[in-house]
Amino acid sequence: MKIGLVGFPESGKSTVFGALTGLAVETGYAAGRDKVNVGVVKVPDPRVDALAELYKPKKTTYAEVAFTDLGGAGGKGLDRKTLNAMREVDALCQVVRAFPDAAGEPPQPLREISDLETETILADLELVERRVERLAKDRSNPRELELLQRIQAHLEDERPLRSFELSEEESKMIAGYALLTQKPLMLVINVDEGSIGSEVDPEIAASARDRGLGVVVLSAQVEMDIASMPEEDQIEFATSLGLDEPARNRFIRAAYELIDLVSMLTSGPDECRAWPVARGSRAVRAAGKIHSDIERGFIRAEVINWKDLIEHGSEAKCREAGLARVEGKDYIMQDGDVVHFRFNV
């Protein structure tokens, strides 16, 4: 699962990337713009921390997501390379400049949001038009043609495909096109140091709401400074700035939800761990995340909600209290389920 950071030049993509990954990256005008940075990030998870506190395991493992800094998108139109890179990610986070730039130029966040939308709509439209032309000529797939024509009309109306309803079958039909306005999108409002901890600007909030998009406010510069500190100092420093935790933590969790992942938890003396599973996964498939043998030999899942486990202090006590459930193959795994799988080898 990969999340792409996009945005207009100088919006702070590389700084956000550095803050997320703790990697040293080049920032500043056009720095490293021809390079695509990729980094894997642990998803901060207080549930894993609480389980680790209880079990004192040898190892603690968090879920991970990959972020990529897609470089210079926008401005005078999205270039081919950026477009192709955008097609390859599972979700997009648009970094929006909300601080005055080096030349003192005031930010235009609303404009950046609507401009990126327009550019991605045009990119999708171009692709769909070409395909419609071809299908109209060779008549090879009338059903796809009909669908693409409806999609074309939607895009011509200047609406992203996030607001176009697709059946499961239709989704499959167009999955190969990797249309940009179909990808989940979240806004990262990059504010200056003085504005951290503040609410989302009401106009931006309204614009995000109209589009059905999530919003995170942070100051990439400050987050980068926090990320470079020893872990034990990070929370304290964030608190001194009026944040209850580094904003990067909130951002990473929001991004994790954006790609529709939930965490199944396992715990024991060896390891406490969060496993990313697609929302709506059946227990038997989720088991396969741990090992294909468990999926193949699946017997049952023994499930306790993490909170119950922490409150009661042990699995045995949860069983006594009737809080441990036995679930079958078709059980839909829930976020925060602590699970033991029983299986035949």
**Which residues here bind ligand GTP, judged by CB under 6 A?**
7, 9-15, 27-31, 33, 71-72, 99, 190, 192, 219-221
By beta-carbon proximity to ligand GTP, the closer residue of 14 and 234 is 14
Residue sitting closest to Mg ion (CB) = 14
Which one of Mg ion, ligand GTP, none is in contact with 201 (Cβ closer than 5 to 8 A by kind)? none
Give min distance, CB of 88 to ligand GTP, in A.
18
**Minimum gap (Å) between residue 208 Cβ and ligand GTP:** 19
184 binds, among Mg ion, ligand GTP, none (CB under 5 to 8 A by kind): none
CA distance 282 to 276: 13
Q: Name the residue nearer to Mg ion (CB basis): 13 or 131.
A: 13
Tell me how far, at minimum, the Cβ of 33 lies from Mg ion, in Å: 6
Q: Is the dihedral of CA 194, 199, 202, 207 positive or negative?
A: positive
In terms of C-beta density within 10 A (0-12 exposed, 13-18 middle, 19 or more buried), how is residue 327 classed?
Answer: middle
Of 221 and 281, the one with the shorter C-beta distance to ligand GTP is 221
- Bridge partner list, 96: 189
- Secondary structure (H, E, C), the chain: CEEEEEECCCCCHHHHHHHHHCCCCCCCCCCCCCCCEEEEEECCCHHHHHHHHHHCCCEEECCEEEEEECCCCCCCCCCHHHHHHHHCCCEEEEEEEECCCCCCCCCCHHHHHHHHHHHHHHHHHHHHHHHHHHHHHHCCCHHHHHHHHHHHHHHHCCCCHHHCCCCHHHHHHHHHHCCHHHCCEEEEEEECHHHCCCCCCHHHHHHHHHHCCEEEEECHHHHHHHHCCCHHHHHHHHHHCCCCCCHHHHHHHHHHHHCCEEEEEECCCCEEEEEEEECCCEHHHHHHHHCHHHHHCEEEEEEEEHHHHHHHCCHHHHHHCCCCEEECCCCECCCCEEEEEEECC
Residue (107 or 336) nearer to ligand GTP, CB? 107
The residue (of 186 and 309) whose beta carbon lies closer to ligand GTP is: 186
- Complex with ligand GTP: residue 19 or 258, whichever CB lies closer: 19
> Which of the listed partners (Mg ion, ligand GTP, none) does 74 bind, with a CB threshold of 5 to 8 Å by partner kind?
none
In the bound state with ligand GTP, the residue whose beta carbon lies nearer, of 80 and 139, is: 80
Q: Which does 65 bind (CB under 5 to 8 A by kind): Mg ion, ligand GTP, none?
A: none
Residue 7 interacting partner from ligand GTP, Mg ion, none (CB closer than 5 to 8 Å by kind): ligand GTP
Which residues touch 78 (CB under 8 Å, ≥6 apart)? 86, 119, 120, 123
Residue 30 binds what, of ligand GTP, Mg ion, none (CB under 5 to 8 Å, by partner type)?
Answer: ligand GTP
CB of 51 to ligand GTP, least distance (A): 34
| CB-nearer residue toward ligand GTP: 171 or 228 | 228
Give the one entry of ligand GTP, Mg ion, none that residue 263 binds, where binding means its C-beta sits below a cut-off of 5 to 8 angstroms depending on kind: none
Choose from Mg ion, ligand GTP, none: what does 11 bind? Cβ within 5-8 Å by kind: ligand GTP
**Shortest distance in whole angstroms from residue 15 CB to Mg ion:** 8
The nearest distance, CB 13 to Mg ion, in angstroms, is 5
State the nearest-atom distance from the C-beta of 137 to ligand GTP, in Å.
Answer: 40
Cβ contact 159:114 at 8 Å? no
CB of 190 to ligand GTP, least distance (A): 5
Residues binding Mg ion (CB under 5 A)? 13-14
